[in-house]
Structure 1
Amino acid sequence: MPHLDIAEVARRAALPASTLRFYEDKGLITPAGRRGLRRQYDPSVLERLALIALGRTAGFSLDEIAGMFAPDGRPRIDRDALTAKAAELDGRIRELGALRDSLRHAAACPAPSHLECPTFRRLLDGATAPGRRPPSTDRPPASPPLRRAGPRGARDL
């Protein structure tokens, strides 16, 4: 099968070409060459991109994913790392399930005010406990808060 140019790989993988170039810079994919100024890829890059997408969805960092490939490009996935990530996801699922249940209770709670509901109060207490951040889908649970300098110094995002 002939090589695919970067635009075709981007289309088939549903990724912007900039992501492909970024993955190339990180050593996750390697072009087979160039035709003019356009990168050319072996069709097997699509399977590799699918593995990368699966790893990202599971919460692995790009560096962790890069370590899951042997120098020859074949997958070399550490089963212990998969088991650990599955256990981490189990914990996250339990946290999110408890949060979901608390929110459903708060939505249907007959208390005159949410602040008078003991279940809602526990939810608030858990969200503000030292070292505890409420569950969020925009970053992994173990990630430290992002910091941004502003007119009043650094602050959490």
Structure 2
Amino acid sequence: MTDLDIAEVTHRAGVPASTLRFYEEKGLIAPTGRRGLRRQYDPGVLERLALIAMGRTAGFSLDEIARMFAPDGQPHIDRQMLAAKAAELDRTIRELAVLRDSLRHAAVCPVPSHMECPTFRRLLEAVASGTVAVPRKRAPGPP
């Protein structure tokens, strides 16, 4: 199979060229060469990019994702790391369910002020104590 031009990779993988260059800087992918000024990639880069996207979606850092590849570039994923991330996601899901349910209750609670609602107050206390973590958006910047 012939190498893919950077434009083809961005189109098929659904990521901008800037992301590819960023992943190159991080050592996650590497071009096979250039044709003129345009980078060329082995077709296997698409699978690698899919694994990176899945890892990012699951909440793995780029450094953790980099460790999921053997020196030869083949996936070598630590099963314990996957199990630990799954447990972390379970905790996050439980916390988000509490947050969702409390917000739904507060939206229809008949008390005049949310601050008078015992359910809403418990939610505030849980967030303040760190029992329920409020999800934070990722910082802007590269993927």
TM-score normalized by the length of structure 2: 0.92
Match in the other structure for 1:33: 33
Unaligned runs of 5+ in 1: 140-145, 147-157
Q: Is the 8 A contact 2:99 2:132 kept in 1?
A: no
Tell me the amino acid that sits aligned with residue 83 of structure 1: A
SS of residue in 1 equivalent to 2:105:
helix
SS of residue in 2 equivalent to 1:30:
coil
Unaligned runs of 5+ in 2: none
Name the structure with the higher strand share: 1
Match in the other structure for 1:101: 101
SS of residue in 2 equivalent to 1:97:
helix
Residue 128 of structure 1 and its aligned partner are, at CA, apart by 2.3
Tell me the amino acid that sits aligned with residue 38 of structure 2: R
Q: Which protein, 1 or 2, shows the higher relative CO under an 8 Å CA cutoff with sep ≥ 6?
A: 2
Deviations 1:79-109 (CA, angstroms, capped at 9, x unpaired)? 0000000000000000000000000110111
Match in the other structure for 1:51: 51
- Over aligned residue pairs, what C-alpha RMSD do you find? 1.5
Whole-Å Cα distance in 2 between the matches of residues 108 and 30 of structure 1?
Answer: 54
Match in the other structure for 2:134: 135
Whole-Å Cα distance in 1 between the matches of residues 74 and 45 of structure 2?
Answer: 11
Residue 71 of structure 1 and its aligned partner are, at CA, apart by 0.7
Residue 14 of structure 1 and its aligned partner are, at CA, apart by 0.8
SS of residue in 2 equivalent to 1:122:
helix
Matched, 1:125 2:125: yes
Whole-Å Cα distance in 1 between the matches of residues 49 and 88 of structure 2?
Answer: 23
Match in the other structure for 1:142: none
Matched, 1:66 2:71: no
Residue 44 of structure 1 and its aligned partner are, at CA, apart by 0.7
Deviations 1:19-40 (CA, angstroms, capped at 9, x unpaired)? 0001011110011111011100
Residue 5 of structure 1 and its aligned partner are, at CA, apart by 0.9
Whole-Å Cα distance in 1 between the matches of residues 21 and 27 of structure 2?
Answer: 10
Match in the other structure for 1:116: 116
Matched, 1:14 2:14: yes
SS of residue in 2 equivalent to 1:34:
strand
Name the structure with the higher helix share: 2
Residue 127 of structure 1 and its aligned partner are, at CA, apart by 2.3
TM-score normalized by the length of structure 1: 0.84
Tell me the amino acid that sits aligned with residue 27 of structure 1: G
Percent of aligned pairs with the same residue? 73
